[in-house]
Every structure is written in structure tokens, then in C-alpha cells.
Amino acid sequence: MVKEILVVVKGKPTYERWTIYQWLLNNKDFLENKYNVVIKVEVREGDNKYPCIIVGKYIIEEPPFEEGYVLEVVDSILSRILNKN
């Protein structure tokens, strides 16, 4: 059975939230293949001025608005959750 991981981008409906969501959608296949999981990416409304990323119990508050950083931090969290290096 393949594990399903939920990644949430939460915040006010801004360009930054939409862009981070798109970055995650565009790169989820890479992460799914790397960890042999199914990744579900969702957007949720929130009161935060800047978006946050939630993966399991991990919350990244106000991530830098840079695609490489966002992907690297999500990859690192997935590695911790799935105990892979």
C-alpha cells in the first residue's frame, strides 16, 4: 500500500499562495517518485498575510518566495516523515 501525504498551502488568496501551490503541483511527481508516495496538494484559506506550508505536523511559516527553497524544505520534511535520507 502506498502512503498518501497531504501538503497544504494556507493563507489569504494572494499571488504568493497561488505560486507556491503551483510550484508544488509542478514538482509533486518528482517527490512522489523519490519517496514512492502519493502527494495531495491543497490550498486552504487562512488569516496569514503570507502563506504557510503544512506537511504533517510540520509548519513552515512565511517561507522565502523562492521555488528551490520551497521544494528543498518539503523534500527535507518528507525525508523526516518517511525516515529516508
Question: In the chain, what are the domain boundaries?
Answer: 3-82
**Contacts by residues 78-82 (CB-CB < 8 Å, ≥ 24 positions apart):** 78/5, 78/31, 78/34, 78/35, 78/37, 79/35, 81/5, 81/55, 81/56, 82/3, 82/35, 82/37
Q: Is the pLDDT of residue 83 over 50?
A: yes
pLDDT, tens digit (0-9, with 9 covering 90-100), for 22-37: 999 999 999 999 999 9
Q: Is the pLDDT of residue 85 over 50?
A: no
Taking residues 2-13, report their average pLDDT.
Answer: 95
- Domain over 3-82 is classified CATH 3.40.50.2020: no
Q: Is the pLDDT of residue 55 over 60?
A: yes
Q: What is the pTM of this model?
A: 0.92
Q: Which residue has the higher pLDDT, 43 or 1?
A: 43
Q: Residue 48's CB: how many other CB atoms inside 10 A?
A: 14
pLDDT of residue 84: 56
